[in-house]
Amino acid sequence: MKPARSGVIVTGASSGIGAVYADRLAARGHDLILIARRGERLDALATRLGSKYRSDVQTVVADLANDNDLTQVEALIARTANLGGVVNAAGLGALGLASSVDPEAVDSLIRVNVLALTRLSLAAARRFGAEGHGTIVNIGSIVALMPVAGAGAYSGSKAYVLNFTRALHAELAPAGVIVQAVMPGPVRTEFFGDAPAPFPDALFMTPETLVDTALRALDQGEAVCFPTLDDPGTWQTFEGARGQLVKAVMQSGQPAARYSRG
Ligand SMILES: NC(=O)c1ccc[n+]([C@@H]2O[C@H](COP(=O)([O-])OP(=O)(O)OC[C@H]3O[C@@H](n4cnc5c(N)ncnc54)[C@H](OP(=O)(O)O)[C@@H]3O)[C@@H](O)[C@H]2O)c1
């Protein structure tokens, strides 16, 4: 993460993927501000990382679904001295069929996975764009490519993360700002809670392997990282097909022949 030894804000640092980002970034010499709702978890991690790596690790308890808390974290991004990175790892699944999913959980999902990630990325984009350096990492999911039953809002939110982050990358790369979307498959964290995970055990990666892989991809300049994708040509083929579809729907502004009357 560039600049080296700068400060990094990590959301969702109280468990799973965010907590491992905190560990690995501290190991790389970054000072940290850790954000989540569970303050005791953050404080325990900060104490551990502070003594293990001698990094300065601060914690901020914030509910990113809450507008006041989100505004405070935005302000933190604007004013923290020597800030070089923001990792948006906070997120939730709100999995379940449309007929039974808890509407409040879906509301939180949209606030955290979409709104908070957007506002914190834009706050970082304003600052890093003006400074000409900085790194933004947004955690998506392979579910972005899978509009499946039982994960409508989650899949939609991660498709948003992918498109939003790629657009930000296109805007900010010329200004020297690094923007990366990380698209994990299943990762063994607290994400699925007590519910059985809808994937076979063999598909799960540890959060340590996931973060180490994603950071390697970041070092290699990958703007979109699918940590489990062996053949990058598969993504290029997908991108090629997407480009062809875009071209096909941008031909004339007229309805397609099959929709013409009579
Ligand atoms: N695990 C997977 O299979 C998998 C796969 C692909 C992508 N992902 C993505 O990876 C990211 C991290 O998930 P994880 O697997 O590490 O799950 P996790 O262990 O459940 O961690 C989720 C983190 O998000 C934080 N969070 C949730 N709601 C929040 C809120 N309202 N305000 C502030 N923080 C909040 C949690 O902290 P508090 O509860 O303390 O607030 C926690 O630190 C998510 O974006 C998830 O969608 C996960």
Of all atoms in ligand 1, which is nearest to the CA of residue 197? 3
Of all atoms in ligand 1, which is nearest to the CA of residue 186? 3
Chain centroid to Cα 58, Å, comes to: 21
Low-confidence ranges of the chain (pLDDT < 70): 262
Task: Evaluate whether residue 1 is within a structural domain.
Answer: no
* Surface-to-core class of residue 225, CB atoms within 10 Å of its CB (0-12 exposed, 13-18 middle, 19+ buried): buried
**Ligand 1 centroid distance, CA of 175 (Å):** 30
Span 149-179, pLDDT tens digits = 999 999 999 999 999 999 999 999 999 999 9
Span 227-262, pLDDT tens digits = 999 999 999 999 999 999 999 999 999 999 999 876
Sequence letter at residue 125: A
For helices 39-53 and 16-27, the axis angle rounded to 10 degrees is 20
The residue nearest atom 41 of ligand 1, judged by CA position, is: 37
Return the bridge partners of 34, or none. 10, 59
Split into its structural domains, the chain has a count of 1
Task: Evaluate whether residue 241 is within a structural domain.
Answer: yes
Of all atoms in ligand 1, which is nearest to the CA of residue 11? 34
Pocket of ligand 1 (CB under 6 A): 12-18, 36-38, 63-65, 89-92, 108, 112, 139, 141, 184, 186-187, 189-191
Task: Evaluate whether residue 103 is within a structural domain.
Answer: yes
**Ligand 1 centroid distance, CA of 18 (Å):** 7
Task: Evaluate whether residue 157 is within a structural domain.
Answer: yes
The pLDDT of residue 194 is: 87
Per the structure, the complete domain to which residue 140 belongs is given by 7-259
The residue nearest atom 46 of ligand 1, judged by CA position, is: 91
CATH number for the domain harbouring residue 112: 3.40.50.720
Question: Which pTM value belongs to this model?
Answer: 0.97
Closest CA to 169 of 160, 179, 161, 158: 179
**Ligand 1 centroid distance, CA of 132 (Å):** 30
The pLDDT of residue 262 is: 64
Task: Evaluate whether residue 2 is within a structural domain.
Answer: no
- R_g of the chain, CA atoms, integer Å: 19
How far, in Å, are 184, 214, 226 from residue 203 at the CA level? 11, 17, 14
The pLDDT of residue 260 is: 85
Residue 1 makes CB contacts below 8 A (sequence gap 6+) with 8, 25, 28, 30, 84, 85, 135, 137, 178, 215, 218
- Known catalytic residues are 154
